[in-house]
Amino acid sequence: MNTKITQLLSYSILTITLLCRVITPTPVAAQTQAFTVSVTPDTSYIRIKPGSKVRHTITIENQGALNSTLRPLIFDFTADGTTGRPILVGESSFPYLDIETISQQEITIPGGKRAQLALLFTVPEDAEEKEYPLTVMFESIPTQSTNPGSTSQLVGAIGSNMIVLISKDEQISQLININSIAVPKFVDSFKKITIKPSIKNNNFAATNAAGTVVVKNMFDSQVAAFNIFPDTILGFSARELRAMRTDFQKDIEPEAVPFAFDPSFLLGLYTVEVTVTQPYTSESQDIIAYDTFTFFAFPILPTLITLLLSAAGITFIVKRKKQHSDS
């Protein structure tokens, strides 16, 4: 597995943590106990070459005081196409894990302790090159307190995402296009401007976004510039891009922010230039996709006031002329 790609993918917004609590009271008394289980890693990127075996370990920690019994289930997931948020789409039929045996396990973890689930991927030589977004969901099996006169039940679930790529080589997608650049065609000269570019990954393997978003005025002078946050875009999926607060540094986790700027004053035509390049960890930063969008900035409120005053002035002049001609 390429460690740089793994690091970038761990920064992405592909983390899923589903926590839900159901407390069942009894006629005697009820204790409310929160579902306090965590998993590590929450997101993993695993590349497996056909004809090989890979072991992947997930650590589960019971941060509560009571014992917690969990059953692991494996689901397929897909991205929502906008934010990259994972959406479960049903129990998985992934062929390179013994899913039936895994789902029959029950893992009991005492309060304050940890346990591990080891997954063994066995991929044959003739396996199709394909990407599998999977979620290992740890579902709580209800347990009861042993305290006399009271009961408490814990029900919840938490997931660990795995993006499993079956491929002989590391995949760097060159098949990216810019779907849209969402900016109003007319903007107020005095208000904050937010840009929402969206891209599509047309390759079967996930990739990381990279590149720049630049805003220029009609004289080709730069008025705003952003680096693209290295979000993960799943294979054959689209998502809205986010900006990175600072320049990319491979040893520091980046912070995502909107493409937004608040100029003191804008007037005239402006162009948004979106440039998508190969991932930041690639040896080259070749341009993969480029597109532009033009908007017009003007002071909306002063313009409306001017138009209203002009209309009132013209109406007044027309009436005066009519009164003069009638007299």
Whether 197 shows a pLDDT value over 60: the answer reads yes
Whether 22 shows a pLDDT value over 70: the answer reads no
Report the alpha-carbon distance of residue 14 to residue 243 in Å, rounded.
Answer: 16
Report the alpha-carbon distance of residue 142 to residue 139 in Å, rounded.
Answer: 10
Are the C-beta atoms of residues 140 and 157 closer than 8 Å to each other? yes
Q: What is the pLDDT of residue 29?
A: 35
Residue ranges per structural domain of the chain: 3-166, 176-302
Per-position DSSP letters for 147-194, written without gaps between them: STT-B-----EEEEEEEEEE-SS------EEEEEEE--SEEETTS-EE
For domain 176-302, the question of CATH label 2.60.40.10 is answered with: yes
Are the C-beta atoms of residues 211 and 277 closer than 8 Å to each other? yes
Are the C-beta atoms of residues 21 and 36 closer than 8 Å to each other? no
Whether 38 shows a pLDDT value over 80: the answer reads yes
pTM: 0.76
For 269, the token pair is 């035509």
For the chain, what is the radius of gyration of the CA atoms? Answer: 28
21 band by pLDDT with thresholds 50, 70 and 90: very low
Strands (E), 4-42: 37-40
Report the candidate in 212, 230, 209 with the shortest Cα–Cα distance to residue 222.
212
Beta-carbon count within 10 A of 129 CB = 14
CATH architecture, domain defined by 3-166: Sandwich (2.60)
**Phi, psi dihedrals of residue 291, rounded to the nearest 5°:** -155, 160
Mean pLDDT across the stretch 241-263? 88
144 band by pLDDT with thresholds 50, 70 and 90: low
Report the alpha-carbon distance of residue 56 to residue 120 in Å, rounded.
Answer: 6
Mean pLDDT across the stretch 144-167? 71
Report the alpha-carbon distance of residue 19 to residue 33 in Å, rounded.
Answer: 13
Alpha-carbon distances, residue 16 vs 35, 85, 138, 153, 234 (angstroms): 16, 8, 12, 24, 15
103 band by pLDDT with thresholds 50, 70 and 90: very high
Alpha-carbon distances, residue 50 vs 123, 124, 127 (angstroms): 5, 6, 6
Question: In a 3-state reduction of DSSP, which class is residue 25?
Answer: coil
11 band by pLDDT with thresholds 50, 70 and 90: very low
Q: What is the pLDDT of residue 324?
A: 75
137 band by pLDDT with thresholds 50, 70 and 90: very high
